[in-house]
């Protein structure tokens, strides 16, 4: 009986050690415009300093051809003065983006042509924002001009931490 117990212990040990595989860390693949792209939680402020919106989601993302000098920006909808969707110029090295007379595709019935345009100029600061949970996140800040109104948009990259879900 003792030999059976020893055999079972050895068999169990062999199964345990042979079933454990270790894998190396996966290489993280980024788009050509990282760290400019992401989902941001922002506040929109008017020229007079009045808060137009808080906790708004702003998305910046790469183009389908993964161009290193262009990105999409999308925020809000047509019911707000600050709603935009358009392709802007970006510079990854300086972490900045800009554009003048960009067609606002939120207002395009056909998805291509729009009578409304906007201008934008901004930057991303890596670890430039301290969140409510006292963690560091990337900060975004840009000036948006649309329909003759200039607005300032400031915020941080969405972290997913509890208490920071907007």
Residues 137-154 have a mean pLDDT of 96
Q: How confident is the model at residue 1 (pLDDT cuts 50, 70, 90)?
A: low
How long, in residues, is the chain? 166
Rg of the chain over all Cα atoms, to the nearest angstrom: 24
Which domains does the chain carry? Answer: 38-157 (2.40.128.220)
Using DSSP, state whether 90 is helix, strand or coil: strand
Task: State the pLDDT at residue 23.
Answer: 73
Residue 76 gets the label, from left (phi > 0), alpha (psi -120 to 50) or beta, of left
Q: How confident is the model at residue 162 (pLDDT cuts 50, 70, 90)?
A: confident
Residues 158-163 have a mean pLDDT of 81
Q: How confident is the model at residue 20 (pLDDT cuts 50, 70, 90)?
A: low
Model confidence, pTM = 0.81
Question: Can you tell me the distance from the alpha carbon of 156 to that of 48, in angstroms, rounded to the nearest whole number?
Answer: 22
pLDDT greater than 90 at residue 61: yes
């Amino acid at each position: 009986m003792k030999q059976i117990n020893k055999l079972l212990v050895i068999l169990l040990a062999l199964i345990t050690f042979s079933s454990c595989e270790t894998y190396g860390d996966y290489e993280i693949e980024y788009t050509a415009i990282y760290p400019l792209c992401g989902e941001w939680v922002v506040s929109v402020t008017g020229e007079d300093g009045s808060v137009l919106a808080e906790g708004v989601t702003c998305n910046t993302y790469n183009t389908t051809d993964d161009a290193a000098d262009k990105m999409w920006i999308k925020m809000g909808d047509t019911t707000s003065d600050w709603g935009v969707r358009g392709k802007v110029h970006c510079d990854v090295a300086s972490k900045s983006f800009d554009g003048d007379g960009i067609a606002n595709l939120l207002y395009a019935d056909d998805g291509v042509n729009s009578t409304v345009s906007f201008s934008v100029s901004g930057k991303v600061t890596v670890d430039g924002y301290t969140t409510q949970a006292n963690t560091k996140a990337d900060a975004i800040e840009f000036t948006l001009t649309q329909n003759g109104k200039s607005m300032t948009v400031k915020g941080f990259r969405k972290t997913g931490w509890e208490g920071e879900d907007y």
